[in-house]
Structure 1
Amino acid sequence: MNKEYSGGCRCGAVRYTLQGEPFKAGLCHCTECRKETGSAFLYYADWLPSQILVSGDYATYEGRSFCPKCGSTLFHLGDKQAEIAVGSLDEAPAALMPLREGWIKRREPWLVAVVGAGQFREDTDV
């Protein structure tokens, strides 16, 4: 049986379900991701677009989607991937270990590298 993940926004107006496992998981320390999350980095995981089902109305700004009611960061839906903000999942996904870190030149000096994860000074697709 395929693994299923579910998640959504803080107020419950937007919900999503993911079928199967992601093909990539990581952390991004770039300026845009920091501003999007209001944190030091974005923890994300990527599924194929065919693996996500979304219900509810969400807003999108420059490709980044969020709940227009509560403001929760949710996902980036593209033609090749559905990038999910892992913090929006209902259950803490301990098994989704970040395997890459992008924009480490902007990683806070008090954060240590994720052991075993690829380290990319800037773009994570290098």
Structure 2
Amino acid sequence: MTDEAQFEEHGGCACGAVRFVVTAPPRRVSLCHCMTCRRVHGSVFGSYAMFERGAVHFSGPAQGWQSSSAARRYFCPVCGSVAFMDYADKDEIDVPLGAFDHTGVFEPTYELWCCHKEPWLPKGARTEYDEERTA
């Protein structure tokens, strides 16, 4: 049995109505400074682990809204916590790092939309993209 076959991390929203389990490591992990992430999270960036769609399993209610032409964001209708982001054109689901039950599970390797990054945040800690990731 491989490590990936044994992989499992759990998480959920603030009130516990929405829960999830991921059954494979993320494809990548990032910090996003775009204006939508800033507003959705009520913070100066969002942090996400990106998974193959089939590796993430949700339970409980989730309500969605179209946050861009390519992405739909979901949240818990009970407490309002960000639950995940889904793409029409990708086999991928983005899960916020703060929603996992354990801390320090995944470390971001890059930042995007740094054109909106707060000037007091450290620069050069990881690969930075001025806008969308190019690689």
The one-letter code of the counterpart of 2:35 is: T
TM superposition outliers: structure 1 runs of 4+ over 4 Å: none
Give 3-state SS (helix, strand or coil) of 2:80's partner.
Answer: coil
5+ long unaligned stretches in structure 2? 67-71
Cα deviation code 1:84-120 (max 9, x no counterpart): 011111111x2411111001111101101352x2210
Q: Output the TM-score relative to the length of structure 1.
A: 0.92
Give 3-state SS (helix, strand or coil) of 1:57's partner.
Answer: coil
For residues 76 and 102 of structure 2, the distance between their equivalents in structure 1, rounded to whole angstroms, comes to 19
For residues 58 and 23 of structure 1, the distance between their equivalents in structure 2, rounded to whole angstroms, comes to 23
Counterpart of 1:59 in structure 2 is 63
Q: How many residues align?
A: 124
Counterpart of 2:133 in structure 1 is 124
Identity %: 33
Is 1:12–2:16 an aligned residue pair? Answer: yes
Contact (CA 8 Å) 1:98, 1:114: kept in 2 or not? no
Is 1:110–2:114 an aligned residue pair? Answer: no
For residues 110 and 18 of structure 1, the distance between their equivalents in structure 2, rounded to whole angstroms, comes to 33
Displacement of 1:76: 0.7
Q: Output the TM-score relative to the length of structure 2.
A: 0.86
For residues 133 and 82 of structure 2, the distance between their equivalents in structure 1, rounded to whole angstroms, comes to 20
For residues 16 and 77 of structure 2, the distance between their equivalents in structure 1, rounded to whole angstroms, comes to 11
The one-letter code of the counterpart of 2:108 is: P
5+ long unaligned stretches in structure 1? none
Give 3-state SS (helix, strand or coil) of 1:35's partner.
Answer: helix
Is 1:26–2:26 an aligned residue pair? Answer: no
